[in-house]
Amino acid sequence: MQVTEELFRMQDEAYKAFTEKLVPNVDPTRIIGVRMPELRRFAKAFAKTPQADAFLRALPHAYHEENLLHGCCIEAERDFDRCVGLLDAFLPFVDNWAVCDCMSPKALGKQPEKLLGQIDRWLAGGGDYTVRFAIGQLMRWFLDDRFDPAYPEKVAAVKSEAYYVNMMRAWYFATALAKQYDAVLPYLTQNRLDAWTHNKTIQKAVESFRVPPEHKTALRALRR
């Protein structure tokens, strides 16, 4: 199977133009234009084939959709250690938010203690999209029953000038306000975030259907 040829068979020119606007930092010549539901259907079958292993080793990929397919294949991995190994190999090549955010493997949530160690490692030594991915995993797996006040400290401690890192920090805190309001509110009342992330957190929380109206009123008053 020629993976790139298969992706071009699924090409949608209108969706290509749409994708170019979604990921403006990606060279348009690297965008094929494949809709995610179709790409995920393809990935579900492809991940089970012998060709998938060779594809996962063939880094870097030429096309944006090859990176998306790579992320979808990692999502299909059920073994925690193998999943982490695949992520470690791939994350340095991730160059946009769409590829980063398409990956949230269920295998990671099955061993939360081990995952926390990996998250700390990714936060400490990764590039922008590795850090974004790590924050996303804290948001997915550790804002409900597994929540600990130490976890938002990890996100607050991230210092970055990168837009897509700080946008994920804001998304994390806005989601945390919906799920752990009392524990997270001091990050705003005590100005513990940089001004941009502080205000973007409030914006996203106010736009959220999960944050009650009385909390939105209090949050609006905290804008800097």
Residues 56-106: tens digit of each pLDDT? 999 999 999 999 999 999 999 999 999 999 999 999 999 999 999 999 999
Q: Residue 76 has which token pair?
A: 């299909």
Task: Share the mean pLDDT of the chain.
Answer: 96
**What is the gyration radius of the CA atoms in the chain, in angstroms?**
19
Return d(Cα 1, Cα 209) in angstroms, integer. Answer: 44
Burial of 50 by CB count in 10 Å (0-12 exposed, 13-18 middle, 19+ buried)? Answer: exposed
Give pTM, 2 decimals: 0.95
Of all residues in the chain, what percent carry a pLDDT higher than 70?
A: 100
For residues 36 and 102, the answer to whether their CB atoms sit within 8 Å is: yes
> Is pLDDT above 90 for 194?
yes
Burial of 167 by CB count in 10 Å (0-12 exposed, 13-18 middle, 19+ buried)? Answer: middle
Side-chain half-sphere exposure of 158, counting CA atoms within 13 A = 35
208: helix, strand or coil: coil
Return d(Cα 104, Cα 84) in angstroms, integer. Answer: 11
Task: Give which of 6, 55, 15, 60 is closest to 33, Cα–Cα.
Answer: 15
Peptide bond into 92 cis (omega under 30): no
Once rounded to an integer, what is the mean pLDDT over residues 9-23? 97
Residue 14: the pLDDT is 97
**pLDDT tens-place string over residues 126-169:** 799 999 999 999 999 999 999 999 999 999 999 999 999 999 99
For residue 123, give the amino acid letter: L
Residue 1: the pLDDT is 57
Alpha helices per DSSP H over the chain: 3-9, 13-22, 36-46, 50-57, 64-76, 80-90, 97-101, 106-109, 112-125, 128-141, 150-156, 163-179, 181-184, 186-189, 195-207, 213-220
Residue 221: the pLDDT is 97
Structure confidence at residue 125 as a pLDDT band (50, 70, 90): confident
Instruction: Say which residues have a Cβ less than 8 Å from residue 121's Cβ, sequence separation at least 6.
Output: none
**pLDDT tens-place string over residues 108-119:** 999 999 999 999
How distant, in Å, are the alpha carbons of 4, 26, 34, 53, 196 from that of 12? 14, 17, 6, 27, 36
> Nearest 5°: phi and psi at 210?
-90, -10
Residue 126: the pLDDT is 79
